[in-house]
Amino acid sequence: MNPTSAAPAPLGIVHPHAAGLDIGQAEIWAAVPAGGQLPAVRAFGTFTPDLQALADWLVQGGITTVALESTGVYWIPIFELLEARGLEVCLVNARHIKNVPGRKSDVQDCQWLQQLHRFGLLRASFRPEAEVVALRAYLRHRAMLLEHRAAHTQHMQKALLQMNLRLTQVLSDVTGTTGLAIIRAIVGGERNPRKLAQLRHGRCQHPEPEIAMALTGSYRPEHVFALKQALALYDAYTAQLADCDREIEQHYATLKPRFEPDDPDQPLGPDEKPNTHSKNAPDFDVRRELFQLVGVDLTVVPGLHVSSAQQLLAEIGTDLSKFPTVKHFCSWLGLAPHNDITGGKVKRARTLPTRNRAGQVLRLAAQAVGRGRSGLGTYYRAHKLRLGAASAITATAHKLARIVYHMLKDRQPYQPLTKEAFAQQRREREVRALTKQAAKLGLTLQPQPA
């Protein structure tokens, strides 16, 4: 075969009516195909009237698709506006569109985006459906409130330690029922350790005398004042969390139910984890709301509870058709191995660093699975024994991702794998490997009679 005859075909135009946007804090540069009705490059401001003028300019020029970078949060208003105007918006990762070396400017960036998108060389980032995007915004804001409240919990602990009140040694959580009751009494002026210890809840493990000893300290005014302010801020964030939960509950009410929890063919069923309710979980029935959206109960999966299942669905959405296979889904989560192949050999295998929030949820679930007695827990501990905790977390999270994908894609309930079934699968896998190794050496395995 003549090597010159196998020249690659030239690139064809995939999106003839494509535009590229370079988005900044105070200015947006837009590039469209040259030779049309519009000038090739034009600058716009970032105020709402400017964004509307940009959308009008693109629509009048016959633009059908627009590519833009995911720069901070600056892209969100123009993305939503262009999407509402009926344009196809391609949100791309800035790392995937590195320009050739040379001088860099906003004009060149928007033109480079437009050219890449015109030839179909850009891949849009995943973004769930609009109703799930709104839920995701609520839940991310809620997570931020929890993070800020946790800082004031640490401030309360610091103030207690400065007064040598060793409350953390007798209570597992200073923001629990007993801990908050004692802190509120201290802020209210109570100093008697025995009276403070009488606020102990009946389920507290440590007795009153031990709690009274821990509450014997130096109640200096400056430290009590710091404790008072930290408690006030903790209560303020708790009130904001309750308000956020009410807003989330109202948003669920606006969503159209797709599946009926009382369906006799595939009902919701009782809660299989009734004693795992976290104090940070919402007060309403999130499990029922999630079932009405996807038709399966994700909380039955080991490691996934109501809060984590809600956060996971808010990140991946309810429609997984954008992921052709489960391998695509796991790769997007950052849980699939990336192989560096040179000369036909795998030189290095690893998972690429990522900040995927859904992948982080599954990694946390994998750590919880490792403390359980399910088949996945057995798999985690066996993997950890061979390759370490980091590898075991990734591998178990990969298995959880596959389970979630098939549950949502095929609407199939989770079929748990018991420890005995997992042990049997592992034995059969080891027998197959030994049989193959023996055949390679010209030997045969002879099982011993029972």
- Do strands 65-69 and 88-92 pair parallel, antiparallel, or not at all (unpaired)? parallel
* Angle 65-69-72 from CA coordinates, rounded to 5°: 135
Query: Mean pLDDT throughout 95-123?
Result: 82
Q: Which tens digits make up the pLDDT trace of 86-103?
A: 999 999 988 777 766 666
Arithmetic mean of pLDDT over the chain: 89
- Check residue 38 and give its pLDDT: 65
Return the percentage of the chain with pLDDT > 90, whole number: 58
Let me know: does 231 contact 184? Beta carbons within 8 Å.
yes
- 14 pLDDT higher than 70: yes
How far is residue 129's CA from residue 293's CA, in Å, rounded to a whole number?
Answer: 12
Neighbour order of strands in the sheet with 65-69: 41-44, 28-31, 18-23, 65-69, 88-92
- 277 pLDDT higher than 70: no
Scan for tokens 């797709």, then name that residue.
258
Q: Which tens digits make up the pLDDT trace of 324-372?
A: 999 999 999 999 888 888 888 887 888 888 889 999 999 999 999 988 8
- 226 pLDDT higher than 80: yes
- 415 pLDDT higher than 90: no
**For residue 323, what is the DSSP state?**
S
- Closest by alpha carbon to 323, among 141, 127, 132? 127
- 1 pLDDT higher than 70: no
- Check residue 195 and give its pLDDT: 93
- Check residue 99 and give its pLDDT: 63
Query: Mean pLDDT throughout 185-208?
Result: 91
Let me know: does 322 contact 436? Beta carbons within 8 Å.
no
- 417 pLDDT higher than 80: no
Query: Mean pLDDT throughout 429-442?
Result: 90
- 37 pLDDT higher than 90: no
- 305 pLDDT higher than 60: yes
- Check residue 444 and give its pLDDT: 87
The predicted model scores a pTM of 0.84
Q: Which tens digits make up the pLDDT trace of 133-183?
A: 999 999 999 999 999 999 999 999 999 999 999 999 999 899 999 999 999
Local confidence band at 34 (pLDDT 50, 70, 90 cut-offs): confident
- Check residue 57 and give its pLDDT: 94
- Check residue 446 and give its pLDDT: 84
Local confidence band at 447 (pLDDT 50, 70, 90 cut-offs): confident
How far is residue 54's CA from residue 44's CA, in Å, rounded to a whole number?
Answer: 7
Query: Mean pLDDT throughout 282-288?
Result: 88
Q: Burial level of 216, CB count in 10 A (0-12/13-18/19+)? A: middle
- 184 pLDDT higher than 90: yes
- 302 pLDDT higher than 60: yes
Count of CB atoms within 10 A of residue 38's CB?
19
How far is residue 398's CA from residue 404's CA, in Å, rounded to a whole number?
Answer: 10
- Check residue 229 and give its pLDDT: 97
- Closest by alpha carbon to 306, among 324, 285, 322, 292? 285
Which of 244-248, 284-288, 405-409 has the lowest average pLDDT?
Answer: 284-288
> At residue 240, what are phi and psi to the nearest 5 degrees?
-65, -35
In the chain the first and final C-alpha atoms are separated, in Å, by 63
- Check residue 28 and give its pLDDT: 94
> At residue 36, what are phi and psi to the nearest 5 degrees?
-95, -160
How far is residue 118's CA from residue 72's CA, in Å, rounded to a whole number?
Answer: 24
- Closest by alpha carbon to 220, among 301, 293, 162? 162
Count of CB atoms within 10 A of residue 367's CB?
15
